[in-house]
């Protein structure tokens, strides 16, 4: 495999371990697996342009992007419709999409899984014209992220601690959102603390948080309780078990869905898009962009 590895210089793991040292580790790990790759750290401001220019090269098979969920989401959107394959390295705080692929979180093991991987088409989600890789949420999660971003922290561990603190504080007084969910089989009103729309549903009956990557439909997960114990159960379920098995979490699967404000006077939504806070005009219109990019699937991961 001929690949270029582009690493977000501000990603949590990179800040802790040092960019030059991490690039050397990545090159050595790929070399040990029989592949010679170029590896470089990039300022996040330059990442999108660097990915776009690298995708024009004809002497490579893949671009591997290292960073957090927001960086990976940007890369997938940038390479939508391109022929070059896209692989990921989990260098952020949560690494939700890499975990969803079943990728090891240890860097050397992650590199080995990519080196022995395969290329498959993968879907992206789309909301109001913006592509996303893993999920969009309204309600509880964007409130937590916005509150965490006001905390003073450095590095991956600091971010994790800030997230944990704001999670507990926000759960003490969750503010429900009143919406109308427009599904293919009809409209449904909800007043709930959180809604997650995923680019693909999670795998039925599997442990962990593994997710399809080419099911060609969205997974809509609705938290239907504001009770502290239920919210904790759902949070634990999201991290450790198949979400379909969690109480107080309603699931719908559909190629398209819309979310409207129950009160027309509210014109916008604050949403978390793969960990980034974004303000959208209402309504939110979601669709599944089928086979949007070519994914380098790690070895051992289940098929689409």
pLDDT of residue 244: 45
Strands (E), 184-239: 186-192, 194-198, 218-223
- pLDDT tens for 160-203 read 555 666 666 666 677 889 999 999 999 999 999 999 999 999 87
Domains of the chain are: 3-117 (3.40.50.10330), 131-290 (2.60.200.40)
Q: What is the pTM of this model?
A: 0.88
Dist CA 262 CA 256 (whole Å):
19
pLDDT of residue 262: 92
What is the average pLDDT value for the chain, to the nearest integer? 86
Instruction: Assess whether pLDDT exceeds 50 at residue 103.
Output: yes
Task: With beta carbons less than 8 A apart as the criterion, state whether 126 and 282 touch.
Answer: no
- Distance of alpha carbon 42 from alpha carbon 35, whole angstroms: 22
Q: What is the pLDDT of residues 208-262, one digit of tens each?
A: 457 889 999 999 999 887 776 777 666 655 544 444 456 678 899 999 999 999 9
List, for residues 63-73, the tens digit of each pLDDT value: 999 999 999 99
- Cβ atoms within 10 A of the Cβ of 32, count? 12
How is residue 58 written in tokens?
A: 């004809």
Residue 207: other Cβ atoms inside 10 A: 10
What are the φ/ψ torsions at residue 20 (nearest 5 degrees)?
Answer: -65, -45
């Amino acid at each position: 495999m001929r690949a270029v590895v582009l690493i977000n210089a501000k990603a949590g793991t990179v800040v802790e371990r040092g960019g030059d040292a991490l690039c050397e580790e990545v090159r050595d790990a790929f070399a040990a697996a029989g592949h010679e790759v170029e590896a470089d750290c990039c300022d996040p401001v330059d990442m999108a342009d660097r990915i776009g220019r690298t995708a024009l090269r004809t002497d490579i098979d893949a671009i591997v992007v290292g960073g957090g969920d927001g960086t990976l989401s940007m890369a997938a959107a940038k390479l939508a419709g391109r022929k070059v394959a896209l692989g990921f390295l989990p260098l952020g705080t949560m690494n939700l999409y890499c975990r969803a692929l079943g990728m090891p979180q240890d860097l050397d093991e992650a590199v080995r899984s990519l080196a022995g991987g395969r290329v498959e088409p993968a879907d992206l989600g789309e909301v109001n014209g913006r592509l996303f890789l893993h999920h969009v949420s309204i309600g509880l999660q964007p409130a937590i992220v916005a509150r965490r971003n006001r905390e003073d922290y450095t590095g991956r561990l600091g971010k994790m601690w800030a997230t944990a603190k704001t999670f507990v504080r926000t759960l003490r007084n969750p503010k429900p959102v009143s919406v109308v969910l427009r599904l293919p089989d009809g409209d449904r009103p909800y007043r709930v603390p959180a809604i997650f729309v995923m680019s693909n549903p999670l795998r039925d009956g599997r442990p962990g948080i593994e997710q399809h990557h080419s099911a060609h439909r969205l997974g809509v997960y609705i938290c239907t309780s504001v009770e502290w114990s239920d919210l904790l159960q759902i949070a634990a379920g999201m991290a450790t078990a198949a979400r379909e098995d969690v109480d107080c979490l309603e699931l719908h699967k559909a190629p398209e869905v819309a979310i409207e404000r129950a009160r027309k006077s509210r014109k916008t939504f604050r949403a978390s898009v793969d960990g980034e806070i974004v303000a959208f005009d209402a309504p939110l219109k979601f669709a599944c962009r089928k086979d949007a990019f070519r994914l380098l699937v790690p070895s051992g991961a289940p098929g689409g």
